[in-house]
Each structure stands twice: as C-alpha cells, then as structure tokens.
Amino acid sequence: MRIRHALERSILTLTVAALSATGAVIAASPAAAVPATIPLKITNNSGRGPVYIYNLGTQLSSGRQGWADAGGTFHAWPGGSIPPSPAPDASITGPGNGQSITIRMPKFSGRVYFSYGQKLVFKLATGGLVQPAVQNPSDPNANILFNWSEYTLNDSGLWINSTQVDMFSAPYAVGVQPVGGTTKNTGHLKPGGYNGFFNALRGQPGGWANLIRTRSDGTVLRALAPGHGIEAGALPAGIMNDYVNRVWSKYSGSTLTVTPFANQPNTRYFGRVSGNVMNFTNTSGAVVTSFQKPDSDSIFGCYKLLDAPNDLVRGPISRTLCAGFNRSTLLTNPNQPDTSAAGFYTDAVTNHYARKIHAQMVDGKAYAFAFDDVGAHESLVHDGNPQQAYLTLDPFN
C-alpha cells in the first residue's frame, strides 16, 4: 500500500498495518538478516544521456531525512530556511547509454530520482526537503525530463516500485533478485507503449490531452496525473461528478458491501447513502465511519473527502472506495473491492489516465493512482532476502 499521494506529501512508508490491508505477509527472512546496504544496478537503455541519479529519503534507524551517496553512506540534510535555500548536491553521475553502474541502497524509505540532460534542483525549507512539484509551471524542475522510483529497505526486506501516481514520464522498470533466486521485474512498457500512451491520451475527449506537458524544444516531458491536472486547470474540476452522482443515487436505495481484507472475509462493512453522506455500518449494525460525497480531486488523490488513515477501519474502506471510483466499478459490482481487471474502466466516466497506463504495461500493472494496489494491480516487487535491486531506464518509443 502507498500511503502518500503527491510530490509534496510524505515519502512512501510501508507498515505492517498497511500491507495487511492487501493480505500481504511481512516477515524477516529466516535465512539471513537483511544487510545494511544492498546493491542497486542502474542500466541505461534509454538512448539518452547524460543521466543524474539521486537517492533521497528517510533513514529508518534514526528518522532523519537526507541522501545516500553512491556507496550507500547516509548524509543528513542541513537546516533549511524561508525562502528555501539550495540543498547540497546529492547527484550521482549515472550510466551512459547502453551502460550500467551499481550504487548501494541503505535502509531507507525513499526515492531514487533520475534526470536526463541536467541536474535537478532541490531546496531546503525549515520543514525539510522541497521536492519537485510537476503541476507547478514555475517549479525550477518544470522543464527537466526526470522520473523516480520509490522503495523501502528494512529488516523485513525490500519493496521497490515504479510509479505514475504524480505523472507519467521517462519510462523505466524495477526489479529485485532474491538470494539464490530468480529476479522479479515490473514496470516495463509494451513495445511502442511510451508513444502509445501519449497518443491515446491525446485522443481522449474531455480535456485529458491537456495533461501533457511539452518543453519549448518539442520534448514531451510528462503527463500530469489527473489530480494535478485539476490543480493546474488542465482538467475540469467536476470531471467525475456524473459518476459520483450515479453512485450516490444507486446506494441511496441499495447496499454497498466492502470486504477490505482478502484474508479476513468475515470482516465486512455496509454502505448506504443518506443525503450527502455514505454511512458504513459493521455486522452489528453500528456506524463505524462516514464519507461526504467526494469531489473529483478527492477521488484522483485518494485523500481529502476520501482520506485513508493508517488504521484498520476507515483507511481500508476508503482505499476500497478510492479504487472503485478510479476504476469505475462501484455501479457494476455492489461487492467491493472488485479485483478483476476485466471490469475496470468500462464506464465512460473514469480515470482515463490510469486506464491508458495499464493498457500499455507488459504485465498490466502500474501505480497509476495511490491505491492501485487494491487487488494487487500495482507495479511493485518485494523480497524478504534481497541480494540486488535493479533500475532499468527504458527506451522512449
């Protein structure tokens, strides 16, 4: 489970409660303790360069934020200021086209950024690192081609994912090789998938093409995720309203059943709409949580009116609703979560950005919105005894 949504929110943290929501099991490997650092092999098959690498995050042993150098040594950020001051240069020179380098990953909850052509600009405010805000045209990184992967390495192993929660940009894949095992990969696009996604988005009526950001030299930089598109004025704020209204109407006269834990089929909640509110009761009939009628931004971001605290009641219900709204399965299936991809995105009103990303992935998996892991449709690999991780920068075709 991803318990972050946008660039300005907190970095990915994986917890026992969060992963339990999908029925995942967290256990330290009985074979060996996870070492303090593991190698990350970065391969540049993109046809482009130069590449700059950044390994930024939270040191799990201390809770301090900072960066890791190529050898995996942690460096805490110095104090920031208002206005934000330049951060130390944390860049690592990446591999040339057709080449690979290997760096060390420490026990972090963090991100591995990579940029093409020029270094990223990071600054420090009094609250810590100011990360790129792709929806802000005045951000100093707005015209830089870049992307990032997210990972957590701790005593229970490595979780590493590709992500499109904030944007679809430079293509890449991630992988992990267990000790004595076969490498697991995810995140690769189909042949032609990069251009296929942008062409499909350009052909989608309703303003979806406005999510695409292009540099003055013609370079396609990214497509904003729809929540950022609403913030930037690229998508209508009410783009999901028609679907929400139909959901509210349906469950004013019938019940939405949510069974949020795959491994706990007897834990069920029942949603009924009254006015502007959907109330959920447990099997005893007691109201356990309620949701105001969500707006489009709450749906795309899985936050605000669909806030998902890291608990065992509201959070799991909210993440199920979020997935149902983004995939438009709430009208076709009153039993949620609906985990069959065959029924996703079939309504005319849906998250077309997510739909088109999934359609272009080799394995069909992506993190196109924050709770795309509902039903295990996320682009995440994990191993409790990792020997090596991989980041592959793929071609732009």
Q: Which residues are catalytic?
A: 150, 166
Q: Dig out the tokens for 241 from the structure.
A: 């309203």
Helix/strand/coil for 19: helix
Distance CA 271, CA 291 (A): 10
Distance CA 265, CA 259 (A): 6
Burial call 295-320: b when 16+ CB within 10 Å, e when fewer: bbbbbbbbbeebebeeeeebbbbbbb
How is 307-335 classified by DSSP, letter by letter? ---SSSSHHHHHHHHHHHHHHT-TTT-SE
Residue whose tokens read 């080799």: 362
C-beta separation of 244 from 227 below 8 A? no
C-beta separation of 211 from 234 below 8 A? yes
C-beta separation of 358 from 368 below 8 A? yes
Instruction: Determine how β-strand 277-281 pairs with β-strand 269-274.
Output: antiparallel
Helix, strand, coil content of the chain in percent (nearest 5): 20, 30, 50
- Cα-Cα-Cα-Cα torsion 286, 308, 239, 367, nearest 10 degrees, comes to -130
Distance CA 160, CA 156 (A): 13
Nearest alpha-carbon partner for 174 in 343, 317, 381: 381
Using CA atoms, how far residue 26 sits from 156, 193, 265, 339, 388, in Å, is 7, 33, 20, 22, 19
Distance CA 267, CA 261 (A): 7
Distance CA 121, CA 91 (A): 10
Q: Dig out the tokens for 98 from the structure.
A: 């057709």
